Chains A and B, each alone.
Chain A
Amino acid sequence: ETGVTQTPRHLVMGMTNKKSLKCEQHLGHNAMYWYKQSAKKPLELMFVYSLEERVENNSVPSRFSPECPNSSHLFLHLHTLQPEDSALYLCASSQDRGGVGTEAFFGQGTRLTVV
């Protein structure tokens, strides 16, 4: 496996369900991200972890709960979601080199539909 892998690719869940999205990076990076992409909107940064510590939390509702058990894995736990949470959820990773610009590498995303 190479790059950034997300599972599942598609998820349909009811508003009362609890589910989790999983992300794994095989690039040796030290930062991982969750982004949300809704139709006709920019990619919205949700959470950032650096060395397993959360460094960004962009006013995301508490029904989204991230978890980063180690620098290679990132989860997004979902509960009591609303239909407007339906979107493409993208995981990314990057190697922070302390002052030198780097690019983020993205997974293929999870298409979430809340019914």
Chain B
Amino acid sequence: DQQVKQNSPSLSVQEGRISILNCDYTNSMFDYFLWYKKYPAEGPTFLISISSIKDKNEDGRFTVFLNKSAKHLSLHIVPSQPGDSAVYFCAAKTIGTYKYIFGTGTRLKVLA
């Protein structure tokens, strides 16, 4: 059973607008959440993270929101740029363990 789900396989957004990528999880033991970005023929690169003691973390154009009661997190990219076009993976883990559990990814396309 998939513990981390990204239900939108793809998303297209106009340049300059907001991109919102969503992620749901089922395991209430997860307390640390990460977003990774992946370009073709490259490994995933870390983007931003949030621990369960927070509900928001911001880094430049990227903001991650965590709703623990809904077991839902989202990544906001504002403003979106063509270079943001990539596959975005949501991941979750329990602090103190080594298991990073990943979703299936959402392919974001930012249109110029």
Chain A positions near chain B (C-beta within 8 angstroms): 4, 6, 31, 33, 35, 40-43, 45, 48, 50, 55-56, 90, 92, 94, 96, 98-101, 103-109, 111
Contacts and interface: CB of A to CB of B under 8 A. Distances in A.
Contacts of B93: 101
B51 to A, nearest CB: 5
B99 A45 contact: yes
Given A45-B100, A104-B46, A109-B42, 17 more contacts: A35-B102, A40-B9, A42-B2, A42-B103, A42-B104, A42-B105, A43-B44, A43-B89, A45-B101, A55-B98, A94-B98, A100-B95, A101-B49, A103-B49, A106-B44, A107-B43, A108-B43
Interface residues of B, number: 27
Interface of B: 2, 4, 9, 31-32, 34, 36, 41-46, 49, 51, 89, 93, 95-96, 98-105
A6 B43 CA distance: 10
B52 to A, nearest CB: 9
A75 to B, nearest CB: 17
B98 A33 contact: yes
A48 B98 contact: yes
Contact of B46 (A42, A90, A98, A103): A103
Contacts of A108: 41-43
11 contacts: A4-B43, A42-B2, A42-B104, A45-B101, A56-B99, A100-B95, A101-B51, A104-B46, A106-B43, A108-B41, A111-B41
A42 B102 contact: yes
B3 to A, nearest CB: 9
Contacts of B95: 99-101
A35 B102 CA distance: 10
Contacts of B9: 40
B43 A90 contact: yes
Contacts of B42: 108-109
B32 A101 contact: yes
Contacts of A99: 95-96
A99 B41 CA distance: 33
Contacts of B51: 101
